[in-house]
Structure 1
Amino acid sequence: MTKLTDALTQQLLTDPQRPLIKSVDEPNWITKGEFRTDVMRIMSALTNAKIGHLDQVLVCLDNSIAYPELMQAFWTQGVVVHPVSASTPAAQLLTEWQEQNYVAMLIDPNLETEILAAITLNEINLKLISVAGLKLLVDPDQTVLRAVAPAAEISEDDLALILNTSGTTGKPKRVGLTHRLLFNAATYDRESQQMTAADTTLITMPMFHINAQAMSVLSMRLAGGKIVVAPKFSASRFWQQVAENQVTWSSVVPTIITILLLNQTANEQYQKYQKYLKLRFVRSSSFALPEDKFRAFERRYHTQILEGYGMTETASQCTINPFDAPKIGSAGKPYKTEVGFLINGEITKAPNRIGEIAVRGDHVINDYLDSHQDSFRDGWFLTGDLGYFDEDGYLFVKGRIKEMISRGGEKVAPAAVENVLNQLDFIGQVAVIGLPDEIYGEAVTAVVIPKKAQTHDLEAEKQAIFDYAAEKLAKFQQPTQIYFVSEFPLNATGKVVRPKLHEELVQQLAGEAR
């Protein structure tokens, strides 16, 4: 066993009657003992299917209480798991299957018909096996000559999890996380956020993402706490779910916080369930929350926000705001992670110097599965994010390097402009991108979703944005173009897909010019 699998196993053996996990829509909890029984059944099914040590399995499932059971069973057998979005088309799943030569694929029964039709069409030889009510498709070409499932001592440096990065351009990079990296990351999450067996977390983030896998599930398993699983985030039901399940914390993204502030039903539900709430904090990551929304959420919902910074490549967080000394707008201080900034080819930790954020530690990868050594230097992982330390050692993230707008030789960080424009009360959400400009190279362009439940004079609001930007921003930072839209293209974790937004606007403008 590894430290990870041993900790997960031992945790189930202590007080087996204690509730451990439940679906948000079901009244009954699964106990530790019942969870362990399920894990053993899944392990038996894998053994019978001759799947074992270092085999790689593709998983395409919606959030459910079976997900953590499956992960523990796979890891205890030494199997490597690659979770992907439940909305992944069947054709894409099969392409991934063939490219990476996975030994099996675990899917929701709803995908069975489409997958089987595609298999027949492409003459792919797969065998269907039922596992925990789900469908396990096994490649018999890889297992037929096996007398038994592969078995060996699992190493701390064996792969446990493969995750696609949430990159916004090109083909996602595959991040390989070992047993060691996952255990270290989850341990640091538990410590830094003071999780105990008395805590209950609500999972609304997708389980194919590192946020749910390490930040929520593994950290709470190590803490001995309880887990409530929602199929997805629901603004209208969030406060009811938190109250009825006595949730003490939840990991979210700024998009969720913004939606909760704007959603009328969410506000009504909070008033109804407020007296039953036990929520200690919400943990927000992915990108910086604008100050006005940060303060509005804490004031309206009487709940502390802890902002941090992390990514798939670090198996979770690198920095976190301390409970007793948070700084709004910052990603907090490094926790069990070394953080520096690449400036002119050198790594520095000096304050107030903006550079590419570089991190290293015993929870950080040293390469991608498909090697990209240009992302690493002297043991440091180069994140592609811009940031700096203030005098007190708090990290401030200023945006992605590749998202920087080049206007007339000046570099504009979209996040800096967005933070200013978010102060305007008629703006629900704003994304700043660069659009082609014949003179300056790129035009600083603000794309705005107006607040719902308000009457809008878009021309007047456009002028208000220009005027406010002229007052608050340097000349080169001020938007020269403004567009209003009803929604942004988002990835599975709630981030704006800026290249897609850029493409949509360019196509729209080209169509109008015809």
Structure 2
Amino acid sequence: MDLGTVLRWTAERYPRRRAVGGPNPMTYAEWDAHTNRLARALADLGVRPKDRVVFLLAGGEPMASLHFAAQKLGAVSVPLSFRFGAPELAYCLRDAAPALVVTDASTTATTQSALGTLPPIRCAHVGDGAPAEAAPILELAAQQPDCALGVRVARDDVSVMLYTSGTTGKPKGVPRTHTAEFHAVLAHLLQSRQGSFETTLGVMPMFHTMGLRSLLASVVSAGTWVPQVRFDAEESLELITRERVSALYLVPTIYWGLLGTGRLHEATNVRKLAYAGASMTPTLAAQLVETLNPDVFVNHFGSTEIYTFTIGPDVAAKPGCAGRAGVFTRVRLVDPDPQASPNDLVAAGMQGQIAISMHSPEAFGGYWQRPDADAKSIRDGWYFPGDLAVADEDGDLWVSGRVDDMINSGGENIYPDEIEDALIRCPAVRDVVVVGLPDDRWGQAATAFFVPEQGMTADHAVEVLANFVREQSGLPSLKRPKRLVAVAQVPKSAVGKILRRELTQGHYEPLAETATGAAIGSRK
């Protein structure tokens, strides 16, 4: 099943049902017609089947409609982050080699700067503020007839190419076929227990798989997708209550924002919660359960490359648990060695790295023009994302860190997660991440970067945390951090993933810190 056909068939079944909510609603019949016209406009701008089209839009309905237009044309949708700076954007544009770049007012200046370093690429624009050389794509679409192009799209054609968030280096292109996207949608509907006609908030960006999954799942199930261009807690809550949103699929930081309004209890129609993209603390999970008392609360653990790894189906009962393999997935825990074979299984109860079968219909087929990345992450038909986990007595997985995050200090391997779990209990700590920094004596020194609790000075917070490490953390001397560094914020990606490389590369401004080699971490 290709995704253009998915929208067309839903429109045939439910032409009058509301497909798009918000201030500019559309029925399924109207949305199908609008995306037909947009597909023809893309074709008039020279886009052909299998061409790549970069979309640099803030989000909302225009991004969603253009994504479906590309599907109907048989082109490859390449949504890029509106948070990219010019150098990172130029890298992705050079790598993707698109036939067309579509921008809006929020991304025009950055795009023009990036394009200035590249060979000419044709541009189009949505809304006001279009550069002179950019075609006004909405105006072009309005002149087109409402009829399908008649392009035959194969299920194994590439639907979308997403770029990974680049937590460990340059972003990598991840081409995903129509088959992979469709099966990921079916998995999402089954695993988050969404029924027909759900109303969903569309605030997650579509350059991330969570945003696409919310959109496509809504269309497959004839639901209503309520777009929000960018997250604003008060605006989100207004949309959730006014539109009677019933299902949310968000990252933990957005849930924190909604709770921070003090009005989330007004969202009485929300019965189904799911999260992904980053870990959720037991405190946040408990507050959401207390506030909304949801019927369904799911932890989705996966990646851009293979949508589902595991599903934790009951966050209220097991907060933080990643659960077990998804409906289309096969998962193993193998030796943490970066070169381990998928057959090197760890013993029960032992920490291992996660391996996922590439035979999953949700899986990608390999990175875009990156055989080096394929060689690192794909071995013997299994994908190795670099995540570590432990299986409990029920067979459920608990994610415990990253292979790449391991710290070798004095010849001993230390994983940051255990240290972070201990330090976050300190009343002086609002957020914390532990990384290994070069050290003449130890090779690498475990260093804790933390955000002081509100109302506490950085110097006092360092003092309180240092005492906590010594007296209350329960950490053996081997695992006590050698340095404590107070910072204004922990660097994170758009979906809340910690960017450890920013810290290991020295991209931080200390507010206060202990001296290197302080007694908090000395070995005895």
TM range (shorter): 0.7 to 0.9
Gap change, CA 1:44 and 1:366, over 3 Å in 2: closer
Within the candidate set 493, 498, 501, 1:499 is matched to: 501
Gap change, CA 1:287 and 1:412, over 3 Å in 2: farther
Look up the equivalent residue of 1:331 and give its one-letter code: A
Gap change, CA 1:198 and 1:413, over 3 Å in 2: same
Look up the equivalent residue of 1:396 and give its one-letter code: W
Q: Which residue does the alignment assign to 1:49?
A: 45
| Equivalent-residue separation in structure 1 for 2:470 and 2:409 (angstroms) | 20
CA deviation after TM superposition for structure 1 residue 54, in Å: 0.5
Within the candidate set 417, 420, 423, 2:419 is matched to: 417
Within the candidate set 285, 292, 298, 1:306 is matched to: 298
Q: Which residue does the alignment assign to 1:481?
A: 483
Give 1 or 2: higher helix fraction. Answer: 1
Q: Which residue does the alignment assign to 1:222?
A: 220
Q: Which residue does the alignment assign to 1:22?
A: 21
| Equivalent-residue separation in structure 2 for 1:405 and 1:241 (angstroms) | 44
| 1:435-468 alpha-carbon deviations (Å, 9 max, x no partner) | 2222222222222212335688424422343146
| 1:119-174 alpha-carbon deviations (Å, 9 max, x no partner) | 6x669545555668896958xxxxxxxxxxx9863221111111111222321111
Aligned residues of 1:285 and 1:309 also touching (Cα < 8 A):
yes
Look up the equivalent residue of 1:81 and give its one-letter code: S
Is the partner of 2:302 in helix, strand or coil?
strand
CA deviation after TM superposition for structure 1 residue 325, in Å: 8.1
User: Does residue 107 in structure 1 map to residue 103 in structure 2?
Assistant: yes
Gap change, CA 1:353 and 1:72, over 3 Å in 2: same
Aligned residues of 1:16 and 1:31 also touching (Cα < 8 A):
yes
For structure 1, which runs of at least 5 residues remain unmatched after alignment?
Answer: 139-149
User: Does residue 72 in structure 1 map to residue 65 in structure 2?
Assistant: no
Aligned residues of 2:428 and 2:453 also touching (Cα < 8 A):
yes
- Map of 1:114-125 to 2, 5 A cutoff? 115=111, 124-125=119-120
Look up the equivalent residue of 1:67 and give its one-letter code: M
Q: Which residue does the alignment assign to 2:285?
A: 294
Q: Which residue does the alignment assign to 1:437?
A: 439
| 1:78-118 alpha-carbon deviations (Å, 9 max, x no partner) | 10011111133456545543443311111114544665677
Aligned residues of 1:156 and 1:178 also touching (Cα < 8 A):
yes
Gap change, CA 1:122 and 1:190, over 3 Å in 2: closer
User: Does residue 341 in structure 1 map to residue 333 in structure 2?
Assistant: yes
| Equivalent-residue separation in structure 2 for 1:68 and 1:367 (angstroms) | 25
Q: Which residue does the alignment assign to 2:77?
A: 81
Is the partner of 1:65 in helix, strand or coil?
helix
| Equivalent-residue separation in structure 1 for 2:167 and 2:46 (angstroms) | 37
User: Does residue 405 in structure 1 map to residue 401 in structure 2?
Assistant: no
Aligned residues of 1:433 and 1:445 also touching (Cα < 8 A):
yes
| Equivalent-residue separation in structure 1 for 2:333 and 2:118 (angstroms) | 51
Q: Which residue does the alignment assign to 1:143?
A: none
Bigger shift: 247-256 or 174-183?
247-256
Identical columns (%): 26
Q: Which residue does the alignment assign to 2:253?
A: 255
Within the candidate set 347, 354, 359, 1:357 is matched to: 354
Look up the equivalent residue of 1:87 and give its one-letter code: R
Bigger shift: 451-460 or 326-335?
451-460
Within the candidate set 447, 456, 466, 2:469 is matched to: 466
| 1:282-304 alpha-carbon deviations (Å, 9 max, x no partner) | 31222322323322332345446
Within the candidate set 444, 447, 450, 2:449 is matched to: 447
CA deviation after TM superposition for structure 1 residue 474, in Å: 3.3
Q: Which residue does the alignment assign to 1:10?
A: 9
Look up the equivalent residue of 1:441 and give its one-letter code: G
State the TM-score, normalized to the length of structure 2: 0.84
Is the partner of 1:217 in helix, strand or coil?
helix
| Equivalent-residue separation in structure 2 for 1:352 and 1:481 (angstroms) | 31
Q: Which residue does the alignment assign to 2:55?
A: 59
Q: Which residue does the alignment assign to 1:163?
A: 162
What count of residue pairs does the alignment treat as equivalent?
487
CA deviation after TM superposition for structure 1 residue 489, in Å: 2.0
Aligned residues of 1:54 and 1:79 also touching (Cα < 8 A):
yes
| Equivalent-residue separation in structure 1 for 2:506 and 2:403 (angstroms) | 21
CA deviation after TM superposition for structure 1 residue 187, in Å: 0.6
| 1:408-446 alpha-carbon deviations (Å, 9 max, x no partner) | 222222222222322334422111112222222222222
| Equivalent-residue separation in structure 1 for 2:378 and 2:199 (angstroms) | 37
| Equivalent-residue separation in structure 2 for 1:505 and 1:109 (angstroms) | 30
Aligned residues of 2:484 and 2:513 also touching (Cα < 8 A):
no
| Equivalent-residue separation in structure 1 for 2:425 and 2:309 (angstroms) | 28
State the TM-score, normalized to the length of structure 1: 0.85
Aligned residues of 2:228 and 2:236 also touching (Cα < 8 A):
no
| Equivalent-residue separation in structure 1 for 2:277 and 2:18 (angstroms) | 31
Aligned residues of 1:365 and 1:381 also touching (Cα < 8 A):
no
Q: Which residue does the alignment assign to 1:280?
A: 271
CA deviation after TM superposition for structure 1 residue 240, in Å: 3.2
CA RMSD of aligned residues (A): 3.1
Gap change, CA 1:416 and 1:239, over 3 Å in 2: farther
